Amino acid sequence: MQNMDEKIWLDWAIELQSLAQAGLTYGKDIYDKERYERIREISAEIIAHKSEIPIETVKDLFCNETGYQTPKLDTRAAIFKDDKILLVRENNGKWSLPGGWVDVNVSVKENAIKEVKEESGLDVTADRLIAVQDRNKHNLPRYAYGICKVFVLCSLIGGRFEANSETTGFDWFAMENLPELAEEKNTSEQIRMCFNAYHAADRWKTYFD
């Protein structure tokens, strides 16, 4: 886990970025806007230094955004069979729940279904909301922008794996036998939460933070 000093620096940098972007959105004076641009650049430099994310990557992630800064949405689908959860194998060999950014023209529910199809070839229904989590409270490395991770309990209805550019296959895993996870996307604690939601069925209360 990150030490407290590093966390404080990243919190400050992320807040500076948010304030600078708001200033660029609502400010009118051209000289003030130049100052806001420099504040945003400094916040990116701090984040790159403290997180070891390349400065070019940090700038691409948030320095090109406009408008009031709000969190991005990421869906993760939990699909079960025989008390095992479906995970897809990333190109780097690590495993994750199928999911990704919510596209602008689809709902959270539609995105969960779409991502499962794209990454595993399987057809599912999206049945229940498991949790809405602040990514920076649960996953590392911390990102320079906010992300709400939406975990959705889904049911398998058909399909088969199809070759794609994001994954190389899928498999089913018991909680006590998880493979190496892509922890920036999902941790073992998050996988366990999905198991708990599956076992609780209609008694599950959606978790959010």
Q: What is the pLDDT of residues 170-189, one digit of tens each?
A: 999 999 999 999 999 999 99
**pLDDT digits over 111-143, tens only?**
999 999 999 999 999 999 999 999 999 998 877
Single out the residue of 77, 74, 119 nearest to residue 101, CA to CA.
74
Q: Compute the half-sphere exposure of residue 104: CA atoms within 13 Å on the CB side of its CA.
A: 0
Residue 151: exposure state from Cβ atoms within 10 A (0-12, 13-18, ≥19) = buried
**Domain 72-208 belongs to what topology?**
Nucleoside Triphosphate Pyrophosphohydrolase (3.90.79)
More confident residue, 187 or 62: 187
Look at 11-15, 111-115, 120-124, 159-163 and tell me which has the smallest mean pLDDT.
11-15
**Residue 20 structure tokens:** 């600078």
Containing H/E element for 191?
Answer: helix 188-200
**Per-domain boundaries in the chain:** 4-63, 72-208
